[in-house]
Amino acid sequence: MKKEKDYRISFFKPTTEFSRKNRNLVLILVSIWAVAIFGFQILLRVMQKPTPEKSLITFEEVWDNVEMGKASDGEKIKFANSVLSVLGKSILLSAPEKKEVLSNAFSWVVYDLVNDADKGMLQKEITMFEKKKKSILTLNDKEYIAAKDKIIGEIAPVLKLNKNSLKAKLIPLELRADLMKNFSKENKTKIKGIMSLYLTHNQSVLTDTIFLGFPFHYFYTAIFLLVLFVALCWVYCFIIDRMHSESGIKNS
């Protein structure tokens, strides 16, 4: 019976000096590992503050007037630009129902901004462009490019955008002929939440500090943690080899 007790093993109750050293080494390394991974993410979570993009601040400044129909042309231009800054985000491709709301807002405000005499023409032009877009085999189609450039040339100045800017390039791709005349009540109730969702981000000093070109938190997680993992493994092997040789343990 006494002999049986000698053959009990527990990580937390080492029976030999070697086991005790091994346990301590494992505990130290696992602690470093856990704190480095989960501790940092918890710190990131604790320090984060919902931070709006400039476009959201602009949107919130003008939205009430736009909603009540009291917005000046300047406010409408600001509104259009802020909506366009969300429409240009590629993440929106995975949320077509939200994109529809924003397309409605953008198309409506552009239609509202152009001269009354040009409204019908604009709608016709966009309808033709949409048809052309569906029929082309390559994006290098000359007629398609010409139609696109024409719309940019007409609308970019209305929105006070540089014709070569990214936002200007988005105009023909985001305007919808069927959504121009009316900004639906339902979409009006949704837009504030959508703008807030896409233009508010969890930021802190850890995300805003640049290190080797990276946002610091990104560098830490994507690069440093992997270096740390390899280092921890190397340290463990090195120390355990030394412990084995000191204890006379063979590795056969």
Partner 1 sequence: MKKIMIIFMLLFLATFLSASSATALEGSFKVGPAIILISILVLFVLVGIFFRAKDTTDFYAAGRGISRVGSGMAIASNWMSAASFLGMAALMYGSGYHGLAFVVGWTGGYVLLLILMAGQIRKYGKYTAPDFIGDRYYSTSLRAISAIVAILISVSYCVGQFGGIGLMFKWVLGIDYTLAVIIGSSVVLAYTLISGMLGVTKNMQIQYVIIIISFIIPLFIMTFKFDYFWMVPQIGYGAVVTDIIQGEAAFKATDLVNNFGHKFAIIASPEYAMPWDPATGKTFFQWMAITFSLMLGTAGLPHVIQRFYVVPKARDARWSVVWGLFFISILYWSAPVFAAFGKILSSSPEVGALAKDAIVVYTAQLGDIHPLVVGLLAAGGVSAAFSTVSGLLVAGASAFSHDLYFKVINPKASPQTQLKMARLATILMTIIVMGIAMLKLALIAQLVALAFSLAACTIFPLFLLGIWWSGSNKKGAIAGLAVGGLVTIISLTYFVSGKYGIKLPAHEFVTYWLGAWYFAWIGAPLAILTNIIVSLMTEETPYEIRKFLVEEVHS
| Burial of 43 (C-beta count, 10 Å sphere; 0-12/13-18/19+) | middle
**How far apart are the C-alpha atoms of 143 and 10, rounded to whole Å?**
77
Number of residues that bind partner 1 (CB under 8 A): 72
- If one asks whether residue 89 binds partner 1 (CB under 8 A), the answer comes out as yes
Pick the closer one to partner 1 by CB: 115 or 164.
164
- 68 forms part of the interface with partner 1 (CB under 8 A): no
Is 226 a residue that touches partner 1 (CB under 8 A)?
yes
Which residue, among 202, 201, 191, 156, has the nearest Cα to 62 in the 3D structure? 191
35 is a site residue for partner 1 (CB under 8 A): no
Are 40 and 221 contacting, i.e. CB atoms less than 8 angstroms apart?
Answer: yes
33/114 with CB nearer partner 1? 33
> Considering the complex, what minimum distance in angstroms separates the CB of residue 115 from partner 1?
27
CA distance 59 to 105: 12
Sign of CA dihedral 153, 157, 163, 168: negative
> How far is residue 177's CA from residue 171's CA, in Å, rounded to a whole number?
12
Member of 174, 176, 188, 243 binding partner 1 (CB under 8 A): 174
Q: Which of 24, 72, 165, 184 binds partner 1 (CB under 8 A)?
A: 165
The answer to whether 193 and 97 are in contact (CB under 8 A) is no
Asked if 244 interacts with partner 1 (CB under 8 A), we say yes
Which of residues 17, 24, 30, 163 is near partner 1 by CB under 8 A? Answer: 30
Minimal distance, residue 111 CB to partner 1, in Å: 20
Minimum Å distance from CB 144 to partner 1?
A: 10
| Binding to partner 1, residues 183-212 (CB under 8 A) | 197-198, 200-203, 207, 210-212
Candidates 131, 205, 222, 242: give the one binding partner 1 (CB under 8 A).
222
Compute the distance between CA of residue 191 and CA of residue 174 in angstroms, rounded to an integer: 16
Footprint on residues 2-21 left by partner 1 (CB under 8 A): 4, 6-11, 19
C-alpha dist (Å) from residue 33 to 29, 51, 153, 216: 6, 30, 57, 19
